[in-house]
Structure 1
Amino acid sequence: MNINLLYDFSVDRENQIIHITREFNAGPELVWQAWTTARLLDQWCAPNPYRTETKVLDLRQGGIWQYAIVSPEGQKHWSRHDYQHIETRKSMTELRAFCDEGGQVVPGFLPTEATTTFEEAEAGTRVTIHERYGSQEIFEKMATETHKKGFSSHLKNLDRLLLTLQAG
């Protein structure tokens, strides 16, 4: 595994945008699969020691991914991604929001618009995420070194999963 994979996390405070770029030592097809398959997302998409639990994944324009981030004590924090646009193996745009277990968005919550792109890179695949926050409060919570480290943690979980999938 290439341990020097690109990871860039930059904050544009003026426009309330976080830009994240990360390279993975696997091809775009496998990275896309890990990013869009419930059983695989549940294996990597949470910072340690938390885990992800998917309730619904309907990967299509107009579909949603509803999931909980589960604490080691079992407390669930619900979120949903509403897919606005999907170009298979290339990009997706979604509106992200906190919700309840039934999928109802928290009242008054302004969603985050996120566009994720997948492209071939020397290491294998470069994933770029642009998160435009509708809420100043949520942006301030996410534009921190703590969030950067947490995000890096769950991307390292993806590195480990990709190695397992490639070996399998």
Structure 2
Amino acid sequence: MAETRIVAESGKQEIVISREFDAPPDLVFRACTDPGLVSQWWAPEGITTTVEEMDAKPGGTWRVTQRDAEGNKYAFHGVYHEVTPERIVDTIEYETMPGHVLLETETIEDLGGGRTKVTDHLVFQSVDDRDGMLQSGMEEEMTGPMERLAGLLQSLKQKAPAR
């Protein structure tokens, strides 16, 4: 079973998250850019995600809201800078903490044999911002969605016609 790997070196303002998926790169790209699919995996277990806007093209914007079981609402938004089947570059801002924007570069690498590696490189404005995110439980919040993405990709593969 593939594991989500999270690297956060002390004193650096970045986090690198990576995972291999048993799915072809085009399917992984679709799952990362199709609002109907993103809403199925882009949150930890127990959180409902609504994609309010997702214009996955350079200059396009996105906004996602999430609700937990108690009805608490969390919102995120950003701007796409680059969108190709191999790479998605965008910003992320948690609306509860305005002004704390991070730059995300998601690389989608074809490993051959219908397998894909996703590397998500997050660069925060400061080490303090990065550390604050880690202390808020981000590691758990990132591994859960990657598990959900893996399950969604398996489901999509089973529904897809043979190539």
Report the TM-score, using the length of structure 2 for normalisation.
0.88
Partner of residue 153, structure 2: 162
- Aligned-pair CA distance for 1:6: 4.3
Does 1:94 pair with 2:94? no
Letter of the structure 2 residue corresponding to residue 70 of structure 1? R
Partner of residue 118, structure 2: 127
* RMSD, aligned CA: 1.9
- Aligned-pair CA distance for 1:144: 4.6
Tell whether the 8 Å contact from 1:64 to 1:83 is kept in structure 2 after alignment: yes
Letter of the structure 2 residue corresponding to residue 71 of structure 1? D
CA distance in 2, matches of 1:72, 1:137: 29
Match of 2:56, SS? Answer: coil
CA distance in 2, matches of 1:99, 1:143: 17
Tell whether the 8 Å contact from 1:111 to 1:135 is kept in structure 2 after alignment: no
- Aligned-pair CA distance for 1:84: 1.3
Report the TM-score, using the length of structure 1 for normalisation.
0.86
Gaps of 5+ in 1: none
Segments of 4+ in structure 1 off by > 6 A? none
Partner of residue 10, structure 1: 7
Tell whether the 8 Å contact from 2:76 to 2:93 is kept in structure 1 after alignment: yes
Letter of the structure 1 residue corresponding to residue 48 of structure 2? R
Identity of aligned residues (%): 25
Does 1:20 pair with 2:17? yes
Pairing partner for 2:106 from 78, 96, 116: 116
Aligned residues: 158
